[in-house]
Amino acid sequence: MTFKRSPNWKKPAFKKKNTQKPRPAPKDRKVIIFNKPFDVLSQFTDDQHRQTLADFISVKDVYAAGRLDRDSEGLLILTNDGVLQARLTQPESKSPKTYWVQVEGAPTEDDLDKLRQGVELKDGMTLPAKVEIIPEPNVWERNPPVRFRAAIPTTWISITITEGRNRQVRRMTANIGFPTLRLIRYSMGDWTIKDVAHGTWKEVSL
């Protein structure tokens, strides 16, 4: 038996589920700045017994606004404000993120110009980045230490991007021939780790 659709039949419309967490009242809003150490996951639980945010942060009902890879260090923002999370992480918001990056080798300005113009990665062209060579920053020792090759110099550069692709900064520096040895996120939007000691956190207000 076959059935014919009525000429007036229309495909039902399905509403896209809103996964954004609700915005709390100002008095209930929590915003945490955490200076994440190396080898710590940007989540509160892990079934492999690796270090997580729960080993450092006791505040309940806050979630990371974006990721910071296990092998990266520095600024991680946590909040219970879904609107703020979206503003910091969604590509259309173009919220700037600055990283201090130690690379193997000595890139020239011509090398860095490629990052300033955008480079072709497997998932497409990157947007232009702000890039400059900086003095070695006065930061904590990494544990375990970075492994250097004695015959090859290293260089610290500051990279500011407005995207958030997976391991983007590492892929960008590798693309121009200078692998990332150490990566520290210094700032997101208006927040920085300037006054936040390594492995500690503080609560801030909007």
Task: Look at residue 172 and tell me if it is in a domain.
Answer: yes
Cβ atoms < 10 Å from Cβ of 111: 18
Task: Look at residue 178 and tell me if it is in a domain.
Answer: yes
110 and 173 both lie in a single domain: yes
Task: Look at residue 39 and tell me if it is in a domain.
Answer: yes
Report the pLDDT value the prediction gives residue 83, as an integer from 0 to 100. 86
In eight-state DSSP terms, residue 82 is: H
Boundaries of domain holding 182: 96-188
Helices and strands in the chain, H and E counts: 3, 11
> How many folded domains does the chain comprise?
2
Task: Look at residue 176 and tell me if it is in a domain.
Answer: yes
83 and 102 both lie in a single domain: no
Task: Look at residue 146 and tell me if it is in a domain.
Answer: yes
Report the pLDDT value the prediction gives residue 19, as an integer from 0 to 100. 54
168 and 124 both lie in a single domain: yes
Three-state DSSP state, 81: coil
178 and 125 both lie in a single domain: yes
pTM of the model: 0.86
101 and 165 both lie in a single domain: yes
* 113 catalytic per annotation: no
Per residue, the 3-state secondary structure of 8-59, as one string, reads: CCCCCCCCCCCCCCCCCCHHHCCEEEEEECCCCCCCCCCCCCCCCHHHCCCC
Catalytic residue among 69, 71, 110, 190: 69
**Can you give the CATH number for the domain in which 50 is found?**
3.30.70.580
CA dihedral over 38, 180, 141, 59, signed as positive or negative: negative
User: How do the pLDDT tens digits run along the chain, 206 residues long?
Assistant: 555 566 666 655 555 555 555 678 877 899 999 999 999 999 999 999 999 999 999 998 999 988 899 999 999 999 998 888 888 877 677 789 999 999 999 999 999 999 999 999 999 999 999 999 999 999 999 999 998 888 899 999 999 999 988 999 999 999 999 999 999 999 998 999 999 999 999 999 87
81 and 120 both lie in a single domain: no
Spatial distance between the Cα atoms of 174 and 123, rounded to a whole number of angstroms? 15
184 and 105 both lie in a single domain: yes
Residue type, 27: K
153 and 122 both lie in a single domain: yes
**Can you give the CATH number for the domain in which 113 is found?**
3.30.70.1560
